[in-house]
């Protein structure tokens, strides 16, 4: 079978985007792993599969698979690429698009300046919603790794996030600490780990170790999580610019009880076909 796809990225966080609306497609775990191989396949951080909507008030459904074949709940950079893709291939001509995910509905909007805005919904802070094995919600949680006590904040942006404040992201062992926390028993479903350096009351530098992937050039939900934790722990402003290795995102969050909006670019790299 020849599969049509697009290669896209959001700030270097790269995706294989597959239209499952006009072409019949079922991908198993081994096929996804093979496609994700950067030497023998397409190569990507995540594969995004667009499907027909499951509810009448939605435009599309979309599923997210990591390069290791695991399916995950949410992807902010991927959501922006979805908005661009469905417009590029003529699946819709709308500028405002509603898509369903494993964890609810996202409202996407293609702006006049070409950026894509995503209403990410309300951040979830209760441990049971993250999920996080802690008895009650705390502003600061603690975990011991190799005899060192780490303080972190945690939030669900439709997927679990653990955010540590560090003095300098360039001098942090993101791979080692990220892997340990991703697999820690405190997080029964694993977690994405953000390493946040506060630059000012409206700016953050961030590196993210993503569950099932490793460190990526950018993580949209990670940027959202860092802004939430920055607001709660460090009294940062409601409009925050988050600088990631691949570029920056704009996050706007009014506080607890409010929905969060993320805005940034989504780029097409190429379109092609591959035989499964």
For residue range 20-68, list pLDDT tens digits in order: 999 989 999 999 999 999 999 999 999 999 999 999 999 999 999 999 9
pLDDT at residue number 103: 82
Q: Given 75, 81, 162, 224, which residue is catalytic? A: 75
pLDDT at residue number 104: 87
Distance separating alpha carbons of residues 147 and 37, to the nearest angstrom: 36
Q: Residue 130 above 90 pLDDT?
A: yes
Q: Given 81, 162, 219, 224, which residue is catalytic? A: 219
Distance separating alpha carbons of residues 210 and 72, to the nearest angstrom: 11
Distance separating alpha carbons of residues 166 and 217, to the nearest angstrom: 18
What pTM was estimated for this model as a whole?
Answer: 0.92
From the centroid of its chain, how far is CA 8?
14
Distance separating alpha carbons of residues 22 and 264, to the nearest angstrom: 28
- For residues 134-160, give the mean pLDDT: 96
pLDDT at residue number 1: 82
Distance separating alpha carbons of residues 98 and 128, to the nearest angstrom: 27
Q: Which of 234, 233, 227 is CA-nearest to residue 254? A: 227
Q: Residue 169 above 90 pLDDT?
A: yes
pLDDT at residue number 137: 97
Question: Residue 276's pLDDT band (boundaries 50, 70, 90)?
Answer: confident
Domains for the chain: give ranges and CATH numbers.
Answer: 2-121+265-275 (3.10.310.10), 127-257 (3.10.310.10)
pLDDT at residue number 214: 94
Least reliable range by pLDDT among 41-50, 103-112, 182-191, 219-228:
103-112
Give how far Cα 113 sits from Cα of 109, 190, 242, 265, 266, Å. Answer: 11, 36, 19, 10, 12
Question: Residue 124's pLDDT band (boundaries 50, 70, 90)?
Answer: very high
Q: Which of 59, 26, 25, 62 is CA-nearest to residue 46? A: 62
**Where is 33: in which H helix or E strand?**
helix 29-36
Distance separating alpha carbons of residues 207 and 171, to the nearest angstrom: 11
- For residues 118-147, give the mean pLDDT: 96
Least reliable range by pLDDT among 70-74, 200-204, 206-210:
70-74
Three-state secondary-structure class, residue 152: strand
Q: Is 162 among the residues known to form the active site?
A: no
What value does the mean pLDDT of the chain take? 96
In this structure, which long-range contacts are made by residues 183-186, counting pairs with CB atoms below 8 Å and at least 24 apart in sequence? Answer: 184/143, 184/145, 185/133, 186/132, 186/133, 186/134, 186/141, 186/143
Q: Is 81 among the residues known to form the active site?
A: no
């Amino acid at each position: 079978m020849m599969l049509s796809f697009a290669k896209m990225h959001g700030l270097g966080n790269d995706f294989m985007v597959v239209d499952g609306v006009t072409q019949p497609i079922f991908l198993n775990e081994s096929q996804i792993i093979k496609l994700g191989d950067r030497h023998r396949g397409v190569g990507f951080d995540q594969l995004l599969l667009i499907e027909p909507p499951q509810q009448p008030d939605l435009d599309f459904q979309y599923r997210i698979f990591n390069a290791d074949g695991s399916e995950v709940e949410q992807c902010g950079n991927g959501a922006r690429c979805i908005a661009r893709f469905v417009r590029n291939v003529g699946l819709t001509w709308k500028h405002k698009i509603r898509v369903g995910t494993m964890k609810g509905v996202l409202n996407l909007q293609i702006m006049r300046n070409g950026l894509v805005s995503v209403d990410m919904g309300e951040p979830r802070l209760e441990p049971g919603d993250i999920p996080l094995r802690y008895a009650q919600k705390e502003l600061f949680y603690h975990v011991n790794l190799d005899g060192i006590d780490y303080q972190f904040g945690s939030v669900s942006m439709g997927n679990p996030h653990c955010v540590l404040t560090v003095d300098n992201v360039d001098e942090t062992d993101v791979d080692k600490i990220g892997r340990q926390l991703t697999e820690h028993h405190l997080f029964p479903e694993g977690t994405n780990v953000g390493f946040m350096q506060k630059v000012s009351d409206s700016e953050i530098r961030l590196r993210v170790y993503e569950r099932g992937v490793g460190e990526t050039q950018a993580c949209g939900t990670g940027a959202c999580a860092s802004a939430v934790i920055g607001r709660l722990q460090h009294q940062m402003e409601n409009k925050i610019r988050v600088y990631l290795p691949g570029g920056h995102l704009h996050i706007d969050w009014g506080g607890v009880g409010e929905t969060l909006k993320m805005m940034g670019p989504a780029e097409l790299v190429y379109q092609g076909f591959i035989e499964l």
